[in-house]
Amino acid sequence: MAQPHRRVLRVAPPGSAGGGGDGEAFPTVQAAVDAVPLGNRERTVIRLAPGVYREPVYVPKTKNFITLAGASAEATVISWDNTATRIKHAQTSRVIGTGTFGCGTVIVEGEDFIAENITFQNSAPQGSGQAVAVRVTADKCAFYGCRFLGWQDTLYLHYGKQYLRDCYIEGNCDFIFGNSIALLEHCHIHCKSAGFITAHSRKSSSESTGYVFLRCIITGNGEAGYIFLGRPWGPFGRVVFAHTFMDRCVKATGWHNWDKSENERTACFYEYSAQGPVPGHQAGCLGVENCLTLKQNSSLHTPSLIQTLIDHGFSR
């Protein structure tokens, strides 16, 4: 199938005048998104000038084929401070939802969404509870060279298929979570304080969902043994770390059962060819009966979930 044609919109630097007329830059990121029609079938690139855009952004369903492009992730930032208990947004709760679901700085519901070289920040301070930087409830979405900043529930990969490459994701509690199929490749996962990296919510063995971290690095704050690789938000949660370097911040036990021993019979958490200095850490899995088949001594073997994601393909 032929790729849709490209249309380019521009967003003015934060605080400057912009009208969004023919050839003019839009005053806000949301104004540029609003200019894309529902049912869009044309790749629309929204170019953001360097600066900090202090606004929530909502990409509705059927506003497909949108690309948000920044000059660099360090220079181009979208920041807001909603939390699950306090949401300030132009959209009503009937549109964006409530609680954790509705508190994202950026909420993506349009398919074939791409973001390049942008920082997505939830600036709510530590201790604010759930405070999402990005929620993705859409299929075939990709993020390249982006940063996701926050504390608890930073990146909500809720539904669909996502690909992240060369991204930086930070937090402390369940800061990559949801029930999508996601491949995170060459990403930097930074653990700011004690907690859990992932919380995958797969609810049954029939679901094909799961997170794969491929050739990533996990770093911490200099302390040892304070972060779990993940815990099952749903009883069949599925996460794989493959060819990933793990700093000493990772606990030797690796995984947590969310204080439910029955999760150990259903959840599938696995490490494949992990590297790093974690004392006493034994690469393995929680929920042995339901794990993907991984052969530690075969460099040619690729787990089926990883292969599915790699074969799926994402186009920029």
Catalytically annotated residues: 153, 174
DSSP string, the chain: -PPPPEEEEEEPPTTS----STTPPBSSHHHHHHTSPTT--SEEEEEEPSEEEES-EEE-TT--SEEEE-S-TTTEEEEE--BTTB---SS-HHHH-SHHHH--SEEE-SSS-EEES-EEEE-PPTTS----SEEEESSSEEEES-EEE-SBS-EEEEESEEEEES-EEEEEEEEEEES-EEEEES-EEEEEEEEEEEEE---STT---EEEEES-EEE-SS-SS-EEEEEESSTT-EEEEES-EE-TTB-TT-B--TT-GGGGGT-EEEEES-BS--TT----EESGGG-----TT-TT---HHHHHHHHH----
Task: Quote the CA–CA distance of 209 and 197 in Å, as a whole number.
Answer: 17
Phi, psi of 264 (to 5 degrees): -70, -15
Q: How many CB atoms lie within 10 A of CB 299?
A: 9
Side chain identity at residue 99, one-letter code: G
Side chain identity at residue 253, one-letter code: T
Tokens of 227: 């972060």
Partner residues linked to 285 by β-bridges: 270
Tokens of 109: 């519901």
